[in-house]
Amino acid sequence: MLSLIMSNDNFINDIHPLVRSFFPGEEIEVSFFPEDKESGSGNGTFRTRIIRDSALILDLSLADISDTDRLRMKNILKCRVYEELSSVLKVKLPWGTLTGIRPVRLAINHMEQGFTHKDTVEYMESFYLVSPEKSALAADIAVKEMNIIKDVNYPGSFSLYIGIPFCPTTCLYCSFTSNAIGLWKTKVGEYLDCLEMELKFVSELFSGRKPVSIYIGGGTPTTLNEEELKRLFDSVHRLFDFDGIREFTVEAGRPDSITKEKLRILRENGADRISVNPQSMNQETLKIIGRQHSVEDTVRAFQDARDAGFDNINMDIILGLPGEGEKEVSHTISEIAKLKPDDLTVHSLAVKRGSRLMEEIEKYKVYSNSNTDVMLEIAALGAREMGLEPYYLYRQKNMSGNFENTGWARPGKEGIYNILMMEEIHSIPAVGAGTVSKCVHTRTDIRRNGNVKDVNGYISRIDEMLDRKRALFKQF
Ligand code: SF4
């Protein structure tokens, strides 16, 4: 147990996640020095103490910084805590004091003020103590993203997300809205009825506008059978204008849900980008993470997708899976390289609340994985050798090694929806159980509203889901 004691709660939302980055997976109890709390601001002195299992790890007292502005104060405090912890623990965090999930946004903001790529790298290194490699990565991606999205950032543009909350089985690390299709088969019809109601509602809310990109995700959309998929596509085509659409992605995801006939239906209905996600090309790992397909199934599904005419296929992998190290990751990368995917999304394992992995964390010991940086390098080198370049990046809480997820793509094959989602430049209405709609008024005024996760709840409360959307988008 870790104890974090601070002067007051002024910077708790900044210091707490930074401390957690140094101690992933450990429980942190937060409290305040009683005398400081009573005097409100702590008289301009900020004190931070960290105790771990009765041992004092950090005792920091900073005076005379209260006359600087809040951002500077916050940064001074974070840098000092970082430096002290880094020195005591002999650990450097790749992303320095950055605890938010969007380092690329920071780089874009800096460049939009007229700073160059070089200035931005230096700024991230000096102000946030980000490593030179990660600073350069964020700046490279910022340049690429700005270039890709410059044409789609027009007034009234939007993208559409459709969630299918069913999967063949539930993966060990899953925290998404996912239900084993075998148990929910009889509910799919009603679910699609509700989805159609929401889609119709969104088409009316956004009438006269054309979506830039559509993303059908989940879950695993291809757990729907052929008839159900056709029904969903018919609705989408009937309700939205596809003229000028830049990208239509369907996450085929699990190889065991993909058939030649489903791939044909996807192509026939305009899907031009799909994901076939192995996560690992090691059979033993697939078993551990609760997948019932084989490595051969992944290869077959990928080749079937190529044969069906898909020229933009993404593959997702996860680094830091239980039992996996450098050898296993090297094997996965070399097997994937043989398939020549157009995109490769490299995730660092995140232990999320609600996942089976979180519940059974003691059993898997994934936080003891100290070589995620080496595995990331193996994946990055492999991706570059496949002709792919990094084009989007985000971070999550409780990631293995405190690293990041990076999307790699062949130039021209970048997933536009992924960038739009991350950079929040336009609204994304989302339909289906567990989805979250985003209304972007301005860069600094972004509102969200989510649907209930539970499929039965979603079906029985569909009118309320429509009301939530009406309220969210009323000023759009
Ligand atoms: S395929 Fe994705 S959504 Fe489905 S159970 Fe696995 S992690 Fe969850």
> What are 227-238's pLDDT values in tens digits?
999 999 999 999
- pLDDT (0 to 100) of residue 476: 63
Q: Which phi and psi (to 5°) does residue 296 adopt?
A: -60, -35
Ligand 1 pocket mutation pick from 174, 184, 280, 316 by most atoms within 8 angstroms of CB: 174
Q: 166: Cβ below 6 Å to ligand 1?
A: no
Q: 175: Cβ below 6 Å to ligand 1?
A: no
Is residue 27 a contact partner of residue 2, using CB atoms and an 8 Å limit?
A: yes
Residue 186, judged by CB atoms within 10 A of its CB (0-12, 13-18, 19+), counts as exposed
- pLDDT (0 to 100) of residue 475: 66
Ligand 1 pocket mutation pick from 166, 183, 215, 220 by most atoms within 8 angstroms of CB: 220
Q: 357: Cβ below 6 Å to ligand 1?
A: no
Residues whose CB falls within 8 Å of the CB of residue 394, separated by 6 or more in sequence, listed in order: 101, 102, 104, 404, 405, 422
- pLDDT (0 to 100) of residue 372: 81
* d(CA 251, ligand 1 centre) in Å: 11
Which residue from 143, 121, 219, 141 is spatially nearest to 178, judged by alpha carbons?
Answer: 219
Residue nearest to atom 5 of ligand 1 (CA): 170
Amino acid (one-letter) located at 58:
L
Q: 220: Cβ below 6 Å to ligand 1?
A: yes
Q: 254: Cβ below 6 Å to ligand 1?
A: yes
- pLDDT (0 to 100) of residue 10: 84
* d(CA 260, ligand 1 centre) in Å: 21
Q: Which atom of ligand 1 is nearest to the CA of 218?
A: 3
Q: 5: Cβ below 6 Å to ligand 1?
A: no
Q: Which phi and psi (to 5°) does residue 9 adopt?
A: -90, 15
Ligand 1 pocket mutation pick from 175, 176, 291 by most atoms within 8 angstroms of CB: 176
* d(CA 61, ligand 1 centre) in Å: 45
Q: 253: Cβ below 6 Å to ligand 1?
A: yes
- pLDDT (0 to 100) of residue 23: 87
Q: 176: Cβ below 6 Å to ligand 1?
A: yes
| pLDDT tens across the length of the chain (476 residues) | 899 999 888 889 999 999 988 887 788 999 998 865 555 444 567 889 999 988 999 999 887 666 668 888 888 899 999 999 999 999 999 999 998 878 999 999 999 999 999 999 999 999 999 999 999 999 999 999 999 988 886 778 899 999 999 999 999 999 887 899 999 999 999 999 999 999 999 999 999 899 999 999 989 999 999 999 999 999 999 999 999 899 999 999 899 999 999 999 999 999 999 999 999 999 999 999 999 899 999 999 999 999 999 999 999 999 999 999 999 999 999 999 999 999 999 998 888 888 888 888 878 766 555 678 899 999 999 999 999 999 999 988 766 667 899 999 999 999 999 999 998 889 999 999 999 999 998 888 999 999 999 999 999 999 999 999 999 998 66
- pLDDT (0 to 100) of residue 407: 97
* d(CA 435, ligand 1 centre) in Å: 14
Q: 218: Cβ below 6 Å to ligand 1?
A: yes
Q: 269: Cβ below 6 Å to ligand 1?
A: no
Is pTM beyond 0.95? Reply is: no
* d(CA 385, ligand 1 centre) in Å: 28
Q: 171: Cβ below 6 Å to ligand 1?
A: yes
- pLDDT (0 to 100) of residue 37: 53
Backbone CA torsion sign across 214, 219, 220, 224: negative
Q: Which atom of ligand 1 is nearest to the CA of 169?
A: 5
Q: Which atom of ligand 1 is nearest to the CA of 170?
A: 5
* d(CA 285, ligand 1 centre) in Å: 15
Residue nearest to atom 7 of ligand 1 (CA): 174
Q: Residue 423, SS3?
A: helix
* d(CA 356, ligand 1 centre) in Å: 12
Residue nearest to atom 3 of ligand 1 (CA): 219
Quick count: other Cβ atoms within 10 Å of Cβ 156?
11
Q: 170: Cβ below 6 Å to ligand 1?
A: yes
Q: 93: Cβ below 6 Å to ligand 1?
A: no
Q: Which atom of ligand 1 is nearest to the CA of 291?
A: 6
Q: Which structural domains are found in the chain, ordered by start? A: 2-89 (3.40.30), 103-148 (no CATH), 158-465 (3.30.750.200)
Is residue 375 a contact partner of residue 323, using CB atoms and an 8 Å limit?
A: no
> What are 239-281's pLDDT values in tens digits?
999 998 999 999 998 999 999 999 999 999 999 999 999 999 9
The enclosing H or E element of 385 equals: helix 372-385
Q: 350: Cβ below 6 Å to ligand 1?
A: no
* d(CA 292, ligand 1 centre) in Å: 12
Is residue 2 a contact partner of residue 29, using CB atoms and an 8 Å limit?
A: yes
* d(CA 293, ligand 1 centre) in Å: 13
CA angle (102 as vertex; 98, 108 as ends), nearest 5: 105
Specify the residue for token string 């999930």. Answer: 101
* d(CA 290, ligand 1 centre) in Å: 10
Q: What is the secondary structure of 172-240 as a DSSP string?
A: TT--SS-EEHHHHGGGHHHHHHHHHHHHHHHHHHTTT--EEEEEEEES-GGGS-HHHHHHHHHHHHHHS
Q: Spell 102-116 as b/e; 16+ CB within 10 A means b.
A: bbbbbbbebbeeebe
